[in-house]
Amino acid sequence: MVRVRFAPSPTGHLHIGGARTALFNWLFARHHRGVFILRIEDTDRSRSTEEFIHSILEGLRWLGLDWDEGPYRQTERLELYQSYVQRLLKEGRAYHCYCSAQELEARRRQALAEGRPPRYDGRCRDLQEPPRGAPPPSVRFKMPQAGQTHVQDLIRGPVVFENTQLDDFIILRSDGTPTYNFVVVVDDVDMGITHVIRGDDHLNNTPKQVHIYRALGVEPPRFAHLPMILGPDKTRLSKRHGATSVVAYRDMGYLPQAMVNYLARLGWSHGDQEVFTVRELIQYFDLKDVGKSAAVFNPEKLLWLNAQHLRSTPLSELRELVWPFLLRQGTVKEGQRLNAAWLERAIGSLLERSRTLLELAQSLHYYIAEDIEPQEEARKKFLHQESLPYLKDVLKGLEALEDFRQARIEEVFKEVVQRHGVKLAKVAQPVRVAVTGGTVSPGIFEVLEILGRQKTLRRLRRAIELI
């Protein structure tokens, strides 16, 4: 059975790169009806925080990436790591190193000055007993000193590492805490991981980990190293390219299914299809379709995809999703209720012009609010003496309507247009500014019907007073 894991370090929020790694693991597990494990690699106690753990879990839940096992925390598994260290020491696969941090740093600088790679020189490798007055030792793993390490990567193909370039690395620090390259292997062995799908920034760790697997008598899992994600300027994705935290996109009004769709397409493809449901992604996902070159993050493409998913979401669901944004911007109050059918109709009229839940909430404001204030620029351009007769005639015609529906509203506008001998826009645009506060909205007849007789008349009277 396929068993994969997502193993973030809680030193920050769940970012775009980490979310894509989690998604590819999750899709691979779901496609193969396998197991998706969540593991928190929190051995770096100086940088790991409970806040970041909570944020990572929150981001995964928002994306819908449910895990089958975990979350396991490495800080709760220290005894297990200690037992494996003792086993490697007993079998001669590891040794105590008594070199101090100051000595190691001095040798590193000397190697760099002499043009040599700054590798550990192995001086403690064959010690029979500790030096007199030696400090508490660390434990190093014995790497092979000749030959090559071959990795058949499922994305990159064959990768070869020269063992002479790899040094004996520390697996247990002198303070008794284990290191990343060691604990990750112990966890993978203990959890029966069959495939390691991760970013290619971990590729250089792979030969070290391969030899630990083999020292523990276990065949390494299959590796798949995902190419990095670049910003639009082709440099590594960072905060300067905009929000990189997944929860930040949630707060900006993006839908989780749109974000999942976009993340899946960052480096993976299925023909020319762009818009996918989660069900389709699970059905089609295969590592052979992951590209070898870096993916470029395109905010405009994400926004376009979000608009597509927004329009395919049922209105009843959008009504629930947009409500927190309406609360946040003060359009509605806690405990307030609106007619569900009316709100869904208002939402439906705005979908073609909304790309996020935030934009949708901002547009809904003029439907829901009791009063609105026209935007300054729009007011100056359209609410003036020239438009005053049009507004008065529209108001008079609408006041006389008993049936306040689109067809009858349109008749009123046609009469005003004919009376004044102008085009519809000359009449419609001042009315639009008067009732919505801006120059862009759905068709004015639809807007007025949804807005309703009372609000429409009150806002037209207010605009006339302003002029």
Catalytic positions, please? 239
CA distance 33 to 394: 63
Nearest to 296 by CA among 266, 272, 260, 254: 266
For 216, 304, 399, 412, 413, the CA distances from 448, given in Å and listed in that order, are 73, 29, 13, 12, 12
What's the distance, CA 194 to chain centroid? 26
CA atoms within 13 A on the CB side of 103: 11
Length of the chain: 467
Contacts of 236 (CB under 8 A, 6+ apart): 228, 229, 230
Amino acid at 203: L
Helices (H), 161-277: 180-191, 206-215, 246-251, 256-264
Nearest to 340 by CA among 315, 321, 361: 315
For 119, 214, 219, the CA distances from 189, given in Å and listed in that order, are 28, 11, 9
**DSSP structural state of residue 72:** E
Tokens of 315: 């209105």
CA distance 112 to 347: 64
Tokens of 172: 């247990």
CA distance 392 to 419: 13
CA distance 179 to 59: 27
What's the distance, CA 13 to chain centroid? 10
CA distance 22 to 161: 27
Cβ proximity of 346 and 331 under 8 Å: no
**Hey, which residues does 195 pair with through a beta bridge?**
222
